[in-house]
């Protein structure tokens, strides 16, 4: 078992324990003479959850069709966006959507949701916004599918320069 101790935000310290890459234990304790009141404990757990989700986005991005770069870049774009639906994020979402959509028998939304650490229905809404903004080609009412548009590719390319 590998232990990783990290100070989340004073006045808390969290010890996160992984076993073969799996999170198996989290211990939160007050430091510097503080105490964990119910309100402080709630705040500490929220901070720990944010850290764990951020770690998972970077360490456990699913590899689909050997094309993880689009998924890794989607996670990075989400972080840069500050959880806002920016053109940069929506364009990266479109490119990742295209990669996941090519996989037979897979949900499109769930792998993308896993990458950015948000619920599937939230990401489904993001996909709708990307489609409405012209980053994913339109499809029939209630039908999945579509591809990243030239607009999405241009936004991503412009952001790389």
Q: Where in the chain is the domain with CATH 1.10.10?
A: 68-160
Fold of 68-160: Arc Repressor Mutant, subunit A (1.10.10)
Answering whether pTM is above 0.75, one says: no
Distance CA 9, CA 34 (A): 12
* β-pair partners for 3: 17
Best-predicted range by mean pLDDT (3-7, 11-15, 33-37, 101-105): 33-37
pLDDT, position 65 = 47
* Residue partners of 154: CB distance under 8 A and separation at least 6: none
Distance CA 25, CA 31 (A): 19
Strands 22-30 and 12-19 turn out to be antiparallel
Tens digit of each residue's pLDDT (9 = 90 or more) over 78-107: 989 988 999 999 999 999 999 888 877 668
Side-chain-side CA neighbours of 127 within 13 Å: the count stands at 30
Q: Is the pLDDT of residue 9 over 70?
A: no
Ramachandran angles phi, psi of 160, nearest 5°: -90, -10
């Amino acid at each position: 078992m590998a232990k990783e101790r990290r100070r989340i935000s004073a006045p808390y310290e969290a010890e996160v324990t992984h076993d073969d890459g799996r999170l198996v234990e989290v211990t939160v304790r007050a430091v510097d003479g503080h105490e964990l009141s119910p309100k402080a404990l709630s705040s500490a757990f929220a901070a720990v959850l944010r850290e764990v989700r951020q770690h998972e986005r970077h360490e456990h991005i699913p590899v689909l069709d050997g094309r993880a770069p689009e998924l890794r870049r989607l996670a990075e774009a989400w972080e840069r966006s500050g959880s806002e639906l920016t053109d940069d994020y929506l364009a990266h979402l479109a490119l990742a959507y295209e990669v996941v959509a090519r996989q037979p028998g897979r949900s499109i939304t769930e792998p993308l949701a896993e990458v950015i650490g948000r619920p599937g229905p939230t990401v489904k809404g993001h996909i709708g916004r990307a489609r409405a903004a012209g980053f994913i080609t339109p499809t029939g009412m209630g039908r999945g599918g579509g591809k990243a548009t030239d607009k999405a590719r241009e936004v991503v390319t412009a952001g790389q320069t």
